[in-house]
Structure 1
């Protein structure tokens, strides 16, 4: 049996130290980053080990892979030390996503249901109904993927993030889009009478949503249950961009823009697209760093010829 490893522990934030942080802990040779968090949490009196953040002493960057073996991390092994920080109250990633996507569903349903009580003419145009169906179906699909498809490399995130993350969906794709499409006197969807535009939007939407779902199912198949390992993705769209799921997401929302003819929908996906671009750039950097020459570098990370 391999001898235990002694790991020195130092508070990363001296002004906000973990008061009961032990000076060091003894670990078996096969201890993972997650095991270290659990041991520290037990010694320091934390009921949730996910509150424990571990950082490299030299770069002060986080140890991201919770399943990685501490003994195989050269930087930690050479230093014999990690920095430790209390990350605060945590909430599960899956819970955050469920809450984020539930908002637009409830808001759009409520907005349509309230029309008979708020408007003299509660009837909606075919384009308004189409927009309603597209938006609600999109977020319902996201809820199903969150519950049954996605696998998360991290267990939790700081609980305070749920308010910031939810605001983007609840306020923009929820409240703003619902008002602009169903109630605004300038709503183009209310006056739309161009079935061809609706048809084109529907085709784009269905292609984007189905393709996005296929990519998500494929990415989920690359990771074991509860695992954090990554593999080089190939196939449907991956020869074009780093993150084809984002590409298909944008295409689906272009379909919604055509159906709704609405500026608020365009604003929502513009803001979301910028964030997806940042994530995709990070994903490309991570693939290049982890897989080196085995990975075929991509010039475009999200939209061929654009980004």
Structure 2
């Protein structure tokens, strides 16, 4: 029989405690954080173990690495205690991203389809689809938007490996709003409007530059995502030092190439809405890339070549 050790369980939120939470549980010596969640959920009568959040009793920080041994966590080793919280109904991260990226796809189909109903009373001098149809540049942007988000859907379904299983289901509306409302609704309303800056048939030199930037950005972003996925085993949470195109310049080359691609879209569309979308995205990516730099330094020490810039060379 495998050796076990006893761990005290404490409710993180005494005002909303987990009903049925046992005072102690016995865990195998090699039990991981995920194993502990499964045992706690089973004994507390909770069907989905992903609802169980476990925290270090000393630092009060979430034990994020679900594959880490419980006994190796400093606070647990010191106190033989786990702090526990019911996180509420959960949804898989893969599902979250699939839903997020679906919004722009749907809006960039819907808005061109209903142009006769939304622009007829606008100041864009819209007449009908025969006299003011979508132009070549607008159709090009239609294709670029769909190519990007269909790529993201494919990567979510078949390429990316997630370190966490789930997130609180209530957060999906907040997380999706950025893509659905800005990249989807706002960008589509502006780009497909008659007589706006994208409503032209001739491609200029600036358009071809933008198209080249988009092609390079999307291709390199794809290559980086493939490389990052290869660094982690299926179901694993381990970290590895990236060694791919752009990784010698910044911590997160996938973000760098994403910005490059969307800058190309800005040059083609001349749309303020695309500027709003990518600038808002940069705010988020800046934080994520800096967190990744800190994590790589902490995990690999001197083996990791520290980066001054985390996503945009010379800027961020």
TM-score, normalization by structure 1: 0.97
Deviation at 1:198, TM superposition (A): 1.6
Distance in 2, matches of 1:110 and 1:221, equals 36
Deviations 1:79-108 (A, max 9, x none): 100100000110000001000000100110
User: Is residue 2:33 matched to residue 1:30?
Assistant: no
CA contact (8 A) 2:136 2:200 kept: no
47-56 or 226-235, which moves further after superposition?
226-235
**Cα distance in 1 for residues equivalent to 2:21 and 2:217:** 50
Q: Distance in 1 between matches of 2:113 and 2:95?
A: 27
Which one of 282, 285, 291 corresponds to residue 273 of structure 1? Answer: 282
Distance 1:261 1:74 in 2: 53
Q: Matches of 2:63 and 2:220 in 1, distance apart?
A: 33
CA contact (8 A) 2:33 2:68 kept: yes
Could you tell me which runs of 5 or more consecutive residues in structure 1 were left unpaired when the two chains were aligned: none
Residue 122 of structure 2 corresponds to none
Tell me whether 1:113 sits opposite 2:113 in the alignment.
yes
User: What is aligned with 1:69?
Assistant: 69
Number of residues paired by the alignment?
306
Residue-by-residue CA offset, 1:162-217 (whole Å, 9 max, x unaligned): 100110000000000010111265x2001474422221111100100010010000
For 1:190-229, list aligned pairs within 5 A.
190-191=199-200, 193-229=202-238
200-209 vs 189-198, which moves further: 189-198
CA–CA distance in 1 between the matches of 2:15 and 2:116? 57
CA distance in 1, matches of 2:154, 2:286: 24
- Equivalent residue, structure 1, for 2:139: 129
Does 2:149 correspond to 1:149?
Answer: no
How far residue 111 of structure 1 moved from its aligned partner, in angstroms, is 1.1
Partner residue in 1 for 2:270: 261
Quickly say closer, same or farther: Cα 1:266–1:184, change in 2 above 3 A. Answer: farther
Pairing partner for 2:174 from 146, 161, 164: 164
Q: CA separation in 1, counterparts of 2:201 and 2:83? A: 59
CA distance in 2, matches of 1:120, 1:47: 58
Q: Does 1:91 align with 2:91?
A: yes
- 2: CA distance, partners of 1:83 / 1:90: 19
Shift, 1:290, TM fit: 1.1
Distance in 2 (CA, whole Å) between partners of 1:304 and 1:272 is 17
Residue ranges of structure 2 left out of the alignment (5+ in a row)? 119-125
Question: Residue 117 of structure 1: CA displacement?
Answer: 5.4
SS of match in other structure, 1:270 = helix
**1:124-175 C-alpha deviation (Å, 9 max, x unpaired):** 1221111111111100000000000000000000001110011000000000
2-structure distance, mates of 1:261, 1:48: 48
How far 1:304 sits from its partner (Å)?
0.2
Report the aligned-residue RMSD: 1.3
Measure, in 2, the Cα distance between the counterparts of 1:204 and 1:235. 19
